[in-house]
Amino acid sequence: MTTYMIQHVISVVKERSEIFMRKIRELREAQGLSQRDLAYRVGVSLPAIQRLENGEGDPKWSTIEKTANELKVSVDHMMGRNVESLHLAKRFSKEELDLMVKFLEDMRSLYTPGT
């Protein structure tokens, strides 16, 4: 993988993180939920939801899944995981995109307990 591609993968991860933070807040507010309400439904503390919305810390995968379930969306939607929304198809070939996806999956498996 070239340095350019690695830098771009890092920028994509950062972009997804920003999408994730924004989506949680938007979805929660659209459903009329307070941070406290969402925390209760997900089964985490209020500060845990505040950290999610502020992009602080490293949330457990189970917390991400439970949050998506409570907000009635997929984790993919919350993470901005579609090529069109990130405009990657205009910048990279299918082979390059496949390589980036593999890289991200490998990184997730390194940081996901039990894999």
**Structural domain spans, the chain:** 3-108
pLDDT of residue 61: 81
What's this model's pTM, rounded to 2 decimal places? Answer: 0.60
pLDDT of residue 42: 93
User: How many CB atoms are closer than 10 A to CB 13?
Assistant: 15
Q: Cα–Cα–Cα angle for 24, 28, 30, nearest 5°?
A: 120
User: How many CB atoms are closer than 10 A to CB 3?
Assistant: 7
- CA atoms of 44 and 67, how far apart (whole Å): 10
User: How many CB atoms are closer than 10 A to CB 47?
Assistant: 12
pLDDT of residue 40: 96
For the chain (115 residues), the mean pLDDT of every run of 10, in chain order, is 72 74 89 95 93 81 87 81 57 77 79 56
| Fold (CATH) for 3-108 | 434 Repressor (Amino-terminal Domain) (1.10.260)
